[in-house]
Amino acid sequence: MNWLNDTVFYNIYPLGFCGAPKQNDGQLTYRLDKIYDWIPHFKALGVNAIVFNPVFESSRHGYDTIDYYKIDCRLGDNESFKKICDALHQNGIRVLLDGVFNHVGRDFFAFKDIQQNGMSSIYCNWFHNIRFDQRSPKGDNFSYEGWAGHYDLVKLNLQNDVVTSHLLDAVKFWIDEFQIDGLRLDAADCVDLEFFKKLRSTCKNKKSDFWLYGEITSGEYTRWANDTTLDSVTNYEAYKALYSCHNDRNYFEFAHSMEREFGNYGIYKHLYLYNFVDNHDVNRIASSLNDKSLLKNVHTLMFTMPGAPSIYYGSEFGIEGKRTPRCDYDLRPCINLGEIPNPNYGLLEHIKKLSKIRHTLSALKNGSYKNENIQLEHLCYSMKNGEQSVFVLLNQSNETRNIGFNSEYNGILTDVLNGNTQYHCNGYMAIDVPAKSSMILVSNDGSLNIDFNEGINCEVISAPVNTAKNIPDELAPQEVTLGRYRHFKGNEYEVLGFAKDSETEQKMVIYQAMYGEQELWVRPYDMFKEIIERDGKKIRRFEKLS
């Protein structure tokens, strides 16, 4: 699959990215249209594929699907998302969606039919282990299997041909309507492999270069990624090594993982795995590292190791976020360009360089991995193909280290990461690598010179000026200030002040009813000021009166 080798992914959790309400309020709001403002940023990063976590109608977090054929109203509608996909494609950015096929939410139509009709429901065989001789933990007059013990997530019966047809028809709909280029398969280790075989056939018949990769956290990847099921999986083994080898000051961990996966006898040499340093399920990399000054080294590894690199939205700025026993919303914040908290612009520029280097050097796209020199605090490995050799040197110690390696090359090595500095090589090389830094040396005749100020076209092609929601200029979003407002349903309120949610630190508006019992209310700031659609018209949720 040629396009994958030259791909830098960007992963977005849309409901969090857009600041959507935690519960589906049923209000159509075109929050995902903010993507248009991010397209120049994607292009500056060298991103040419976006993985959207769930975008289809759900009750809460996206993984509790209500309708596989409808975009979540908190994000927009099918027509607005189609325009988003068109704009991304026109700008050279592929689109992949999150395929959640192991389970649905309790508001899914087939499950609600069982709640209403009991044993007479025609959908009893749509789910795993429906039993009418006992009650569910949710109080239903029947029991069922919840995914991993979560009874808000009802496990589908993928051995039912009617169920699989419903899901595969949905995928065909996504390809036809939105022209998507691939799927991330959620909880892939829990999904029936026979279903994946049908999914592969369906997708490849629609698009021969359609890419399928599964979320796999452990086990041998070839069980799911092979010629009959999925193309690839998430590389959780490398994810752990990427941060752990820096926290423990032990590059042997990373080197061992790479040798096992991609060395001469590597078990995954034939696979192109999906690499990442964080995502919506794990702590942000800036929160995982004990020493944040090593963030650049972490990303150097990810962009130069075998497989496709992926950036989780906002982590290019070094934003932080950790799971708590009660909440993982800190991993999925609403962020806006120009309003990033404590942005690490040095890391951002480093990632831009790495992305351009990866797009430029063929050995990083399809080369073979080999460990050249491994020590606790410094490492050298090579990526080689028939036309090019690349040597990656890393030093995570607090002082300069002299790193030697046998290049098997006579000529010039150019450090394309650091000013295109040239080194004359005669087989064996020994180079001083500054503390907590990295080098990327390329064999060449001296003519290779990557200019990071040229060749990045951030011009947006054909993105709608007024976006898909077509909001009149007089309805442009306004900042919320103290004063009186009228809710779109007619009630009047006074904004008294602002606060932060103690769990998520989300900005909230505190307001009081003007009449009646004058109750106090609180609502997320972004939700308070948003534009909604009612009776086919765009209106403000709250209109300022004074």
Q: Name the segment(s) of the chain with CATH classification 2.60.40.1180.
A: 237-305+345-446
Give per-residue pLDDT as tens, 316-361. 999 999 998 878 889 999 999 989 989 999 999 999 999 999 999 9
Question: Looking at residues 54-67, what average pLDDT do you find?
Answer: 97
CA distance 126 to 157: 5
CA distance 168 to 164: 6
- The share of the chain scoring above pLDDT 70, in percent, equals 94
3-state helix, strand, coil in the chain (%, to 5): 30, 30, 40
Give per-residue pLDDT as tens, 140-188. 999 999 998 899 999 999 999 999 999 999 999 999 999 999 999 999 9
In this predicted structure, the answer to whether residue 467 has a pLDDT above a threshold of 90 is no
pLDDT-derived band at 202, boundaries 50, 70, 90: very high
Name the most confidently modeled range: 274-288, 443-457, 529-543: 274-288
Helix (H, G, I), strand (E, B) or coil at 419: coil
Provide the pLDDT for residue 420. Answer: 94
Give per-residue pLDDT as tens, 74-94. 999 999 999 999 999 999 999
Dihedral in degrees, nearest 10, Cα atoms 141, 145, 148, 151: -20
State the DSSP code for 63.
S
In this predicted structure, the answer to whether residue 468 has a pLDDT above a threshold of 80 is no
Q: Contact at 8 Å (CB) between 80 and 32? A: yes
User: Furthest-apart CA pair in the chain: how many Å?
Assistant: 86
Provide the pLDDT for residue 258. Answer: 98
Which CATH superfamily includes the segment(s) 473-544? DUF1653-like domain (2.30.30.320)
Q: Name the segment(s) of the chain with CATH classification 3.20.20.80.
A: 1-102+158-234
Question: Looking at residues 304-321, what average pLDDT do you find?
Answer: 98
Q: Contact at 8 Å (CB) between 203 and 212? A: yes
Give per-residue pLDDT as tens, 361-391. 999 999 999 999 999 999 999 999 988 999 9
Q: What is the CA radius of gyration of the chain?
A: 25
Q: Any idea what the Cα angle at residue 63 is, between residues 57 and 64, rounded to 5°?
A: 65
Identify the H or E element spanning 360. helix 345-360
State the DSSP code for 535.
T
- Of 272, 154, 166, 147, whose CA–CA distance to 212 is shortest? 272
Q: Name the segment(s) of the chain with CATH classification 2.30.30.320.
A: 473-544
CA distance 253 to 269: 18
Give per-residue pLDDT as tens, 491-530. 888 999 999 877 666 788 999 988 777 788 888 888 888 8
CA distance 172 to 169: 5
Q: Any idea what the Cα angle at residue 161 is, between residues 156 and 163, rounded to 5°?
A: 35
Q: Contact at 8 Å (CB) between 27 and 57? A: no
In this predicted structure, the answer to whether residue 234 has a pLDDT above a threshold of 90 is yes
- Of 272, 264, 263, 322, whose CA–CA distance to 6 is shortest? 272
In this predicted structure, the answer to whether residue 471 has a pLDDT above a threshold of 70 is no
Sign of CA dihedral 64, 69, 73, 79: positive
Question: Looking at residues 452-476, what average pLDDT do you find?
Answer: 59
- Of 400, 438, 399, 453, whose CA–CA distance to 296 is shortest? 438
H helix and E strand count, the chain? 14, 26
pLDDT-wise least confident of 45-49, 453-457, 505-509: 453-457
- Of 163, 229, 242, whose CA–CA distance to 202 is shortest? 229
Q: Which CATH number fits domain 1-102+158-234: 3.30.499.10, 2.60.40.650, 3.40.50.2300, 3.20.20.80?
A: 3.20.20.80
Q: Contact at 8 Å (CB) between 312 and 282? A: no
Average pLDDT, the chain: 93
DSSP 216-275: --SS-GGGTBSSSSBSEEB-HHHHHHHHHHHHTT-HHHHHHHHHHHHSTT-TTTT---EE
pLDDT-wise least confident of 103-117, 419-433, 531-545: 531-545
CATH placement of domain 237-305+345-446: 2.60.40.1180
CA distance 127 to 103: 9
Token pair in block for residue 527: 């939700």
In this predicted structure, the answer to whether residue 466 has a pLDDT above a threshold of 80 is no
